[in-house]
Amino acid sequence: MVVELQYAQRPVFAREICLARIEPGKKLAELYVELPNMPIALAELFDTLAKYNISVSSMSSHVMHNKLVNFIIIDLSYAKASIEELLDELRYGLRIIPIRVECYIPEIDGVITEKFGFPPIAGNYEDGQELLVLRGSTFSSMLKTIKDLFGTGGDIIILQQAIQGGVDTAKNIEKMFSKSYVPPDFPFKLHLDVLTAFGFGIFEIVDRDRQRIVVRVEESVESRYLKRKYDTAKCVFIKGYLKGAIEEHYGRRVFVEETRCIARGDPYCEFVAKFE
């Protein structure tokens, strides 16, 4: 799926985080496979699946402690071997022997949830951040409820929490580059890319000088479910988050104003951060 954006400078593609699959009539299973971190090892794994006519429904891989860790949901509907035969070959029949192989077979065919992956993390295992996967509409609804119940007091609560979130993540990013040189704006640009990867919207800097930074956000998670329902800007969380992030990255106080917002009918949200 390609999400066509009018203003972004690049295409973006919907990316599945596979937590569950419901595919009636299919015989699904999950494999957890640790391999030596060698390109040929992954090739052998896929060759074995192909040999037995087993397709991959979803897959996630990462390197940890020089091991290639794979979470794979496979479709055995047209397999030419039993799951026991497959596991036996994976464990003992490859030239590059896996470090560990585990398998989960759901109670009901075609209904499977992620069983081996907990907790979800972003970054390396040793210093990665634990994540909570939340529907965008639920997050937006939670913020709206706080605003509706507490009015301006709710906005203040959200704003302060968001500022601290921006500060904390900015500190982690700056720490990554503490011993190497990168262009001055690079850590903040990376921070915006992280927000995009996490699903908060499509972030990009559209203007920058010594006095201000203008950040455009397409498909803001805070307002994309509220399109044209209000006559004022509604992205309090993102506004606060950007304030905390910019102040930590640049070491200067900043005033952030949301000048455009999807919730009031604008095509995108835009934030102008003016240095004090």
CATH 3.10.129.10 fits 136-275, yes or no: no
What distance in Å separates the CA atoms of residue 264 and residue 228, rounded to the nearest whole number? 5
Evaluate if residue 107 carries a pLDDT over 70.
Answer: yes
- In this prediction, residues 154-162 reach a mean pLDDT of 95
Work out the mean pLDDT of the chain and round it to a whole number. Answer: 90
Other CB atoms within a 10 A radius of the CB of residue 270 amount to 22
Distance of CA 46 to the CA centre of its chain: 26
DSSP 179-243: TS---TTHHHHHHHHHHHHTTS-EEEEEEE-SSEEEEEEES-TTTTTSTTS-SS---HHHHHHHH
> What digits encode the pLDDT tens for the residues 109-126?
999 999 998 888 877 656
Pairwise pLDDT comparison (273 vs 223), residue with the higher score: 273
Evaluate if residue 1 carries a pLDDT over 50.
Answer: no
In this prediction, residue 178 has a pLDDT band, given cuts at 50, 70 and 90, of confident
Burial class (CB in 10 A: 0-12, 13-18, 19+), 271: buried
Give the pLDDT of residue 13: 77
What distance in Å separates the CA atoms of residue 248 and residue 144, rounded to the nearest whole number? 27
Evaluate if residue 137 carries a pLDDT over 70.
Answer: yes
Under a CB-based contact definition with an 8 Å cutoff, are residues 89 and 49 in contact?
no
Give the pLDDT of residue 2: 46
What distance in Å separates the CA atoms of residue 247 and residue 252, rounded to the nearest whole number? 5
> What digits encode the pLDDT tens for the residues 253-273?
999 999 999 998 999 999 999
Under a CB-based contact definition with an 8 Å cutoff, are residues 105 and 84 in contact?
no
Give the pLDDT of residue 120: 84
Under a CB-based contact definition with an 8 Å cutoff, are residues 237 and 157 in contact?
no
Under a CB-based contact definition with an 8 Å cutoff, are residues 213 and 229 in contact?
no
- Which residues on adjacent β-strands are paired with residue 122? 129
87-96, 223-232, 242-251: the lowest-pLDDT one: 223-232
Kindly report, as residue ranges, where domains of CATH 3.30.1380.20 are found in the chain.
136-275
Pairwise pLDDT comparison (12 vs 101), residue with the higher score: 101
Three-state SS for 162?
Answer: helix
- In this prediction, residues 169-177 reach a mean pLDDT of 92
77-86, 119-128, 204-213: the lowest-pLDDT one: 119-128
Q: Which residues contact 46 (CB under 8 A, 6 or more apart)?
A: 56
Give the pLDDT of residue 127: 67
Under a CB-based contact definition with an 8 Å cutoff, are residues 70 and 61 in contact?
yes
How far apart, in Å, are the Cα atoms of 245 and each of 10, 121, 200, 239, 250? 24, 21, 14, 10, 9
Stated pTM of the model: 0.83
- In this prediction, residues 55-82 reach a mean pLDDT of 93
Total residues belonging to the chain? 276
Q: Structure tokens of 98? A: 């896996």
Evaluate if residue 200 carries a pLDDT over 90.
Answer: yes
Among 176, 221, 226, which residue's Cα sits nearest to residue 203?
221
Burial class (CB in 10 A: 0-12, 13-18, 19+), 96: middle
- In this prediction, residues 51-62 reach a mean pLDDT of 94
- In this prediction, residues 222-240 reach a mean pLDDT of 85
Three-state SS for 139?
Answer: helix
CATH H superfamily, domain 20-127: ACT domain (3.30.70.260)
